[in-house]
């Protein structure tokens, strides 16, 4: 399946987890991809995997801090020049900081909002002219099931993802007449570097979960499906990458201004 043979995409968070899986999926379908991440080693790993799969010649990588305006306004034009245009923007980069809301430092709150929400805005703003010029531009933003369902100790993260969801609706309507589609995906119960580090599975208390957290609150965050047979029923990042590819391709041509929940039935 080569739905992206003539298309060009920019993917943030491309050095690990869902972002990396999305880069590799788009490459496998013929896309030319610019992958961005704040971590150079992660991008090197993505490039190595792309080379191993025989797609390395269609991948370029660039270190960027999406929450920093100067970094974004430098990196995005450079990437689009390498790509000679842009058809798809996937805003997959994000961070998670967990704490009792009453004890969360303002710095942690601001960092989560800066990266997850402001970073999505900055990347979209800089990419919009090229996406509109393509005539069939697509923005895929990353929300989360936490935007609509209660996830304890994750108030900042939930707020940022709720903002991303609303932002997606706004730009979908604003630019629909110019051929742009904007969709949000809302993953849940996905095994990735971010969830594993936070202990978000509810089974392992990672460094982000308070020591006195009530782990019973996580009992409702287990998926109904477990096709992978994993210990907690969490799916791998490839489960999200496949949906992103479908939405960004012409198969998703009539999908815009909405969010797609991908959580194995966790929040039925």
Residue positions counted in the chain: 268
Examine the pLDDT at 185 and tell me if it is beyond 50.
Answer: yes
What pLDDT score was predicted for residue 194? Answer: 52
Instruction: Give the residue among 15, 19, 4, 1 at the shortest CA–CA distance from 238.
Output: 19
Q: Exposure of 69 by Cβ count < 10 A (0-12 exposed, 13-18 middle, 19+ buried)?
A: middle
Domains and CATH numbers, the chain: 8-189+240-262 (3.40.50.720)
What pLDDT score was predicted for residue 209? Answer: 77
Examine the pLDDT at 75 and tell me if it is beyond 60.
Answer: yes
| Residue-by-residue DSSP string for the chain | --TTTT-EEEEETTTSHHHHHHHHHHHHTT-EEEEEES-HHHHHHHHHHHHHTT-GGGEEEEE--TT-HHHHHHHHHHHHHHHTS-SEEEE---------GGG--HHHHHHHIIIIIIHHHHHHHHHHHHHHHHSS-EEEEE--GGGTS--TT-HHHHHHHHHHHHHHHHHHHHTGGGT-EEEEEEE-SB--HHHHHHTTTSSS--TTS-TT--GGGGGGG--S--TT--TT-PBPTHHHHHHHHHHHSGGGTT--SEEEEESTTTT-
Residues 6+ apart with CB under 8 A from 11: 19, 22, 23, 26, 33, 34, 35, 36, 90, 92
Pick the catalytic residue: 142, 153, 157, 167? Answer: 157
At 51, list the tokens: 């080379």
Instruction: Give the residue among 96, 89, 147, 154 at the shortest CA–CA distance from 121.
Output: 89
What pLDDT score was predicted for residue 117? Answer: 98
Examine the pLDDT at 196 and tell me if it is beyond 60.
Answer: no
Between 210 and 54, the more confident residue is 54
Per-chain mean pLDDT for the chain: 90
Against a cut of 0.85, is the pTM above it? yes
**Could you tell me the pLDDT band of residue 220, with boundaries at 50, 70 and 90?**
low
What pLDDT score was predicted for residue 205? Answer: 34
Crossing angle, helix 17-28 and helix 40-52, to 10 degrees? 30
Instruction: Give the residue among 147, 137, 212 at the shortest CA–CA distance from 182.
Output: 137
The answer to which of 30-34, 148-152, 177-181 has the lowest mean pLDDT is: 148-152
**Could you tell me the pLDDT band of residue 192, with boundaries at 50, 70 and 90?**
low
Q: 261, 254 in Cβ contact below 8 A?
A: no
Instruction: Give the tens place of pLDDT for each residue, 106-117.
Output: 999 999 999 999
- Point out which residues pair with 90 in neighbouring strands: 11, 140
What pLDDT score was predicted for residue 139? Answer: 98
Examine the pLDDT at 198 and tell me if it is beyond 50.
Answer: no
**Could you tell me the pLDDT band of residue 200, with boundaries at 50, 70 and 90?**
very low
Examine the pLDDT at 219 and tell me if it is beyond 80.
Answer: no
Instruction: Give the residue among 182, 178, 55 at the shortest CA–CA distance from 123.
Output: 182
**Could you tell me the pLDDT band of residue 214, with boundaries at 50, 70 and 90?**
confident
What pLDDT score was predicted for residue 266? Answer: 82
What pLDDT score was predicted for residue 227? Answer: 65
**Could you tell me the pLDDT band of residue 265, with boundaries at 50, 70 and 90?**
confident
**Could you tell me the pLDDT band of residue 199, with boundaries at 50, 70 and 90?**
very low
Based on the residue annotation, tell me whether 157 is a catalytic residue of this protein.
Answer: yes
């Amino acid at each position: 399946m080569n739905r992206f043979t003539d298309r060009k995409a920019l993917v943030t968070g491309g050095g690990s987890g869902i972002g990396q899986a999305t880069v590799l999926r788009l490459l496998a379908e013929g896309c030319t991809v610019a992958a961005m991440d704040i971590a150079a080693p992660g991008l090197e790993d993505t490039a190595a995997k792309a080379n191993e799969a025989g797609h390395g010649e269609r991948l370029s990588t660039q270190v960027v801090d999406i929450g920093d305006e100067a970094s974004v306004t430098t990196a995005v034009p450079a990437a689009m020049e390498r790509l000679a245009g842009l058809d798809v923007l996937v805003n997959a980069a994000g961070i998670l900081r967990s704490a009792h809301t009453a004890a969360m430092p303002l710095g942690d709150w601001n960092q989560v909002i800066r990266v997850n929400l402001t970073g999505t805005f900055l990347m979209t703003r800089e990419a919009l002219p090229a996406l509109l010029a393509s005539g069939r531009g697509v923005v895929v933003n990353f929300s989360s099931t936490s935007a609509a369902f209660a996830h304890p100790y994750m108030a900042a993260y939930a707020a940022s993802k709720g903002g991303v969801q609303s932002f997606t609706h706004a730009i979908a309507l604003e630019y629909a007449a110019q051929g742009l589609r904007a969709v949000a995906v809302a993953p849940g119960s996905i095994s990735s570097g971010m969830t594993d580090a936070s202990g978000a599975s509810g089974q392992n208390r990672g460094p982000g979960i308070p020591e006195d957290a009530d782990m019973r609150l996580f009992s409702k965050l287990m998926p109904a499906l477990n096709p992978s047979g994993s210990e907690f029923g969490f799916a791998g990042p490839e489960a999200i990458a496949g949906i992103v590819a479908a939405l960004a391709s012409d198969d998703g041509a009539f999908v815009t201004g909405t969010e797609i929940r991908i959580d194995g039935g966790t929040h039925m």
